[in-house]
Structure 1
Amino acid sequence: MLSPQGNRLRVGRYSEPGRIYLLTVVTQGRRPLLRELRTGRLVVGELRQAEESALVRSLAWVVMPDHMHWLIELQHSTLESLMQRVKSRSAKAINQMQGTQGRVWQKGFHDHAVRQEEDLITLARYVVANPLRAGLVRRIGDYPLWDAAWL
Structure 2
Amino acid sequence: MVHYRRNFVPGGTFFFTVTLDDRRSSALIDHVVLLRAAFRKVRNERPFVTEAVVILPDHLHAILTLPPGDSDFSDRWRRIKGSFTRSVIATGAQVSRDHRGEYSLWQKRFWEHTIRDERDFERCADYVHFNPVKHQLAASPSDWPFSSLHRYVRAGILPPDWGGDGSADTSNFGERKD
When normalised by structure 2's length, the TM-score is 0.69
Work out whether 1:116 is the aligned partner of 2:94: no
Tell me which stretches of 4 or more aligned residues in structure 1 moved more than 6 Å: none
Tell me which residue corresponds to 2:130: 129
Higher helix share: 1
Work out whether 1:45 is the aligned partner of 2:46: no
- Select between 45-54 and 140-149 the one with higher mean Cα deviation: 45-54
The one-letter code sitting in structure 2 at the alignment partner of 1:139 is S
Count how many residue pairs are aligned between Structure 1 and Structure 2.
Answer: 143
CA distance in 1, matches of 2:125, 2:9: 20
How far does residue 50 in structure 1 lie from its aligned partner after superposition? Answer: 3.4
- Select between 61-70 and 119-128 the one with higher mean Cα deviation: 119-128
CA distance in 1, matches of 2:152, 2:122: 7
CA distance in 2, matches of 1:58, 1:117: 16
What do the CA deviations read for 1:48-97 (whole angstroms, capped 9, x no partner)?
33334452111000111111111011225612101100111011112222
Change (3 A) 1:114 1:36: closer
CA distance in 2, matches of 1:15, 1:86: 19
What do the CA deviations read for 1:93-112 (whole angstroms, capped 9, x no partner)?
12222432432101011111
Kept after mapping to 2: 8 A contact 1:31/1:66: yes
Change (3 A) 1:48 1:139: farther
Tell me which residue corresponds to 2:172: none
Q: What's the % identity of the aligned pairs? A: 24
CA distance in 2, matches of 1:35, 1:54: 22
Structure 1 unaligned spans of 5+: none
CA distance in 2, matches of 1:61, 1:25: 11
What do the CA deviations read for 1:16-38 (whole angstroms, capped 9, x no partner)?
2321100111101313233644x
CA distance in 2, matches of 1:129, 1:74: 24
Tell me which residue corresponds to 1:30: 23
Considering only CA atoms, is the larger Rg found in Structure 1 or Structure 2? 2
Q: How does 1:64-75 map to 2 (within 5 A)?
A: 64-75=56-67
Matching residue within 79, 85, 99 for 1:85: 79
